[in-house]
Amino acid sequence: MTEELVARALALRQNAYAPYSRFRVGAALLAADGRVFDGCNVENAAYGVSLCAERGALASAVAAGCRDFTALAVASTGPEPCVPCGVCRQALCEFAPNLTVHCVAPDGEFKTFPLHTLLPEAFTLRRE
Ligand code: THU
């Protein structure tokens, strides 16, 4: 499943709308029930309106009634494995503090981190 998720994140970069940064990002979010939700970055002429790929996938999942996630793969056109930005880490933490995050490089190699190591001492209303 991990390889499928990684391949999907790489492919989703093609759908990115990133005319300003030219940095295309794809994200594939795996739900506990096996569904996979897609995201890509969607930029805007008003730069601050831009949406990251990870939060696009998350919003799509929540809109479909899904709130339980196990893994995320995120890939970009940059040379390094793509790590989620701080805002996306916080957004993902709301639903999946123990999420497994695969950070994918363009050649398909990836590094894996538990979300809580990317966002230590996270602010959350959950008590686990
Ligand atoms: N971006 C993402 O989609 N995810 C991240 O975690 C990092 C940044 C997007 C936002 C913007 O469209 C472009 O990458 C450059 O920052």
pLDDT tens, position by position, 22-72: 999 999 999 999 999 999 999 999 999 999 999 999 999 999 999 999 999
Q: Is residue 75 part of a domain?
A: yes
Q: Is residue 127 part of a domain?
A: no
Residue 51 Cβ inside 6 Å of ligand 1? The answer reads no
Query: What single letter denotes the amino acid at residue 9?
Result: A
What is the rounded distance in angstroms from the CA atom of residue 114 to the CA atom of residue 98?
6
pLDDT band at 125 (very low <50, low <70, confident <90, very high): confident
Residue 12 Cβ inside 6 Å of ligand 1? The answer reads no
| Bridge partners for 75 per DSSP | 26, 104
Does residue 54 carry a catalytic annotation? yes
pTM: 0.95
The catalytic residue among 54, 80, 109, 121 is 54
| Bridge partners for 123 per DSSP | none
* CATH number reported for the structural domain that contains residue 52 in this entry: 3.40.140.10
- In the chain, how many domains are there? 1
Provide the CB-side half-sphere exposure for 106 (13 A, CA). 10
pLDDT band at 126 (very low <50, low <70, confident <90, very high): low
pLDDT band at 127 (very low <50, low <70, confident <90, very high): low
Intra-chain end-to-end CA distance of the chain, in Å: 27
- Which residues span the domain enclosing 104? 2-118
- By residue count, the chain amounts to 128
Report the percent of the chain where pLDDT is more than 70: 98
